[in-house]
Amino acid sequence: MKTYIIVKYEMWSVTSPAGNMKDKTSKNNTVKLSDVAAQANVSVVTASRALRLPDLVTPATRAKVAAAVEALGYVPNPAAQALASARSKIVGVVIPSLTNQIFADLLRGVMDGLDDTDYTPQFVNTRYITTREEDLLRIFSTQRPAGMIVSGIDQTDAARKLLQKMNCPVVQVMEIGPDPIDMIVGCDQREAGRAAARHLIDKGYRRIGFLGARMDPRAQRRLAGYRDVLQAAQIAEDERLVQTTPKPSSYTTGGQLLSDLLARCPDIDAVFCNNDDVALGALFECQRRGISVPHQMGIVGFNDLDVVSCSVPTITSVRTFRYQTGLTAVQMILARLSKQPVAERSLDAGFELIARQSTDRLPRIGDWPSINQT
Amino acid sequence: MKTYIIVKYEMWSVTSPAGNMKDKTSKNNTVKLSDVAAQANVSVVTASRALRLPDLVTPATRAKVAAAVEALGYVPNPAAQALASARSKIVGVVIPSLTNQIFADLLRGVMDGLDDTDYTPQFVNTRYITTREEDLLRIFSTQRPAGMIVSGIDQTDAARKLLQKMNCPVVQVMEIGPDPIDMIVGCDQREAGRAAARHLIDKGYRRIGFLGARMDPRAQRRLAGYRDVLQAAQIAEDERLVQTTPKPSSYTTGGQLLSDLLARCPDIDAVFCNNDDVALGALFECQRRGISVPHQMGIVGFNDLDVVSCSVPTITSVRTFRYQTGLTAVQMILARLSKQPVAERSLDAGFELIARQSTDRLPRIGDWPSINQT
DNA sequence: CTGTTAGCGCGTTCAT
DNA sequence: ATGAACGCGCTAACAG
């Protein structure tokens, strides 16, 4: 222990006098702003301003400071910054899960959007537990984040209040809704659900099942869209056609769901799946059972993950823009932070139905059952 | 200036007498330790110790402080903690990419391992760029992280030095190697590659190709394992059998790789794929071409993602333990931080070959070509 | 445009 | 077992 200290101090006295430039001048082995200031022959404040608000400083001093920073390898201490300014450089990102690919895409967008800024994303997952979301937000609020990105629009009142009290830009993502906390970017899940169901009808399918895992609020709204369309088309709305499970979505779950639905309704001719995991699982189940897709069974997925575009057959899906959403959310936050006027508080990221082989069946006369038959 | 102070004191004197419990006593609308101390009628230090080192404090005061914390809703300010102690509660996690499912699994393990501790993970991705890794580490070092988790064993010397200078537990993950920076947990990629290749040989395949995307160092070692086995089996080692691309791995890439390899070596009877994305893509390509798997073509993947266990046919893969690895890495760090003796600095997470339908072909006499034929 | 001063909320000596 | 005093590195008022 003693030797330790001694070694440390010895190193000090060795490097400190000898070191001209390129020197960690502090005992903590950390270059601080005061070191930079000393090196540049200016006050600490000036050094700070030269870095933070360069416009308020002479080009000459700016250069001096820049040189000192370079020479000493100065990097600001975020903890000190946060403490002094009561604002951290952290952008909090609250998502329900990391298992789901779509959130990984979102995170990539956020990360990329934050690259080359001095902000840092910080991710947490709620595991779809609302009380956990509140706890996480409480923790975030102690960090005084620069901005917050939260998934979905189903925050509890407590969560909404916490977010508002953070006094920073907040973006809800993955969905749009009528009453954003602050800003929002995503797509209309219900409308997207409608598009999927409508596509199946257009392709001549009539006994259209719904396969859903986990059934979080977003999935619920897609299901609602499916119901909208089936009602509007005056196709028998049969609750038995809706097969869901609280289990997390996965390929295996998808196969299981289809099996269960087939057991109850052997006459279905198509399924709209909650998401692509379920859709691919359903496709595999069809292959196992020798059910021909798209002829005996139409399949539509959701999200348009990479995999559905190269399976055999390829799977029709509703493309959503997760990466772009993450990017946009960050841009909204950055814009607000730089006092720029934000064009829109609510941004519809849209969606796109990508028709593929899994529904590529021409409607034939025989496919059209009489209306309202069960 | 003066008014400032007065305001503060006024608010104090207003809320302090009036406020019995449940009061944000500070001008900043933030409850601090001094508020807790006041409420509990102890000094700030005592309050601090009651929370941090409860053993050094009377059960009575501990209770008083706990009550005050509860009443005021006190949450420590991490920035202040970090500044004062020169240590943050952040565990830095450096991975190459978030696109790859296996890193999402790792992150889940890390997150879960850090739940119910007061440490927070912070993720960054290097995008497989080593200079970027160094930059990221430099940034992390300013945060004085509690621990670091980095992916792989191929850090540059500069990166290794940076990690050592952080003076905190460091765990390399996803691989094991001879010269860990500090601690390490993962599996022997080369050995895993051998297992995959050996399995194909055991199943009677002889013209065994290698399909690899991205080809990061880990993939390179798997390829080396494949070569080891082919040499040892005295099967013709033919570099034309190795088909790689610098492009990121994906299902599409997998199909493309197989196409390219088939164009050059139409006589291959099996492929060992870099990872499961490639393997599934290759399977789809076989389906498109009417190549029967496993009879005309054996396929082995890597990682054993969920999807390969329910595709049709199911795909043989080498299971790796990403989630467990993340969890273990965290546990190693936590153990070190709590001064517990760490059992092993190097932990082999192992792997497991899961044989499935895609290689389920009995070796037949005809499958055995003469040795060393090209 | 630059320097001076006073904290941010906590941990860490050192006394008691 | 408890408390007083100081400072972590930086920003934010204010004064020149």
Cross-chain Cβ contact A142/B28 below 8 Å: no
Q: Determine the protein residue whose CA lies at the shortest distance from the C1' of C5.
A: B1
Reported as a pLDDT band with limits 50, 70 and 90, residue A210 is: very high
Residue A155 near residue A133 (C-beta atoms within 8 A)? yes
**Is A58 within the bounds of a domain?**
yes
| A252 vs B contacts (CB less than 8 Å) | 306, 309-310
**pLDDT given for residue A27 in this prediction:** 40
Task: Work out the pLDDT band at A148, boundaries 50, 70, 90.
Answer: very high
Strands A242-245 and A208-213: parallel
Tell me, what DSSP letter sits at residue B152? Answer: S
CA distance B249 to B254: 7
Answer yes or no: do A123 and B123 touch at CB < 8 A. Answer: yes
Same domain membership, residue B316 and residue B195: yes
Nucleotides on strand C lying under 7 Å from protein C-beta: 1-13
Q: CATH code at B224?
A: 3.40.50.2300
CB contact under 8 A, A82 and B79: yes
Question: Which residue in A215, A137, A197, A219 sits closest to A172, CA to CA?
Answer: A137
| Closest to A39 (Cα-Cα) out of A59, A25, A51, A28 | A25
The CB density around residue A342, as the number of other CB atoms within 10 Å, is 15
Residue B179: count other Cβ atoms within 10 Å of its Cβ. Answer: 8
Is residue B374 in a domain? no
Q: Are residues A206 and A306 in the same domain?
A: yes
Q: What is the pLDDT of residue B80?
A: 92
Asked if residue A81 is part of any domain, the answer here is: no
Q: Give the 3-state secondary structure percentages of chain B, helix then strand then coil, rounded to 5.
A: 50, 15, 35
> Closest to B284 (Cβ–Cβ): which among A86, A104, A312?
A312
Residues in a beta bridge with B319: B303, B352
**What's residue B20's pLDDT?**
32
Q: Which residues are CB-contacts of B323 (< 8 A; sequence separation ≥ 6)?
A: B105, B106, B108, B109, B112
The domain tally of chain B equals 3
- Residue B120 phi, psi dihedral angles, 5° rounding: -125, 130
Q: Answer for the pair B201, B371: CB distance below 8 angstroms, yes or no.
A: no
Chain D bases near protein Cβ (<7 Å): 1-5, 7-14
Residue of B nearest to A122 (CA): B122
Check whether residue A332 and residue A292 sit in a common domain: no
**pLDDT of B364:** 54
User: Would you call B78 and A80 a contact, using CB atoms and an 8 Å cutoff?
Assistant: no
State pLDDT tens for residues B360-373: 987 555 444 433 33
Same domain, B143 and B196: no
Rounded distance, CA A77 to CA A336, Å?
24
Mean pLDDT of A206-215: 96
pLDDT attached to residue A29: 66
pLDDT score recorded for residue A116:
87
* Cα B175 to the center of its chain, rounded Å: 10
Q: Among A251, A307, A311, whose Cβ lies nearest the Cβ of B310?
A: A251
Alpha-carbon distance B124 to B132, whole Å?
10
Identify whether residues A194 and A316 lie together within a single domain: yes
**Per-residue pLDDT at B24:** 37
Same domain? For B257 and B207 the reply is yes
Contacts of A144 in chain B (CB under 8 A): 79
Q: What is the CATH number of the domain that holds A68?
A: 1.10.260
In this prediction, residue A363 has a pLDDT band, given cuts at 50, 70 and 90, of: low
d(CA B32, CA B35) in angstroms, rounded, equals: 5
More confident residue, B9 or A218: A218
Give the tens place of pLDDT for each residue, B267-305: 999 999 999 999 999 999 999 999 999 999 999 999 999
| Alpha carbon of A234: minimum distance to chain B alpha carbons (Å) | 36
How far away is chain A from the Cα of B97, in angstroms, using its nearest Cα?
9
Percent of chain A topping pLDDT 90: 67
**Which tens digits make up the pLDDT trace of A244-295?**
999 999 999 999 999 999 999 999 999 999 999 999 999 999 999 999 999 9
Which segments of chain B have a pLDDT < 70? 1-29, 236-237, 342, 363-374
Residue B101 CA to nucleotide C3 C1', Å?
54
Residue B333, both tokens: 């760090």
Same domain, B174 and B232: no
Confidence of residue A11 (pLDDT cuts 50, 70, 90): very low
Per the structure, the complete domain to which residue B34 belongs is given by 17-73
Among A341, A353, A330, smallest CA distance to A117 is for: A330
- Rounded-to-integer distance, Cα B325 and Cα A135, Å: 27
| Cβ neighbours of B157 (radius 10 Å) | 8
| Segments in B237-361 forming alpha helices (H) | 251-264, 276-289, 322-337
CB atoms within 10 A of CB A284: 22
Locate tokens 């109850």: which residue? A264
Residues B270 and B254 in one domain: yes
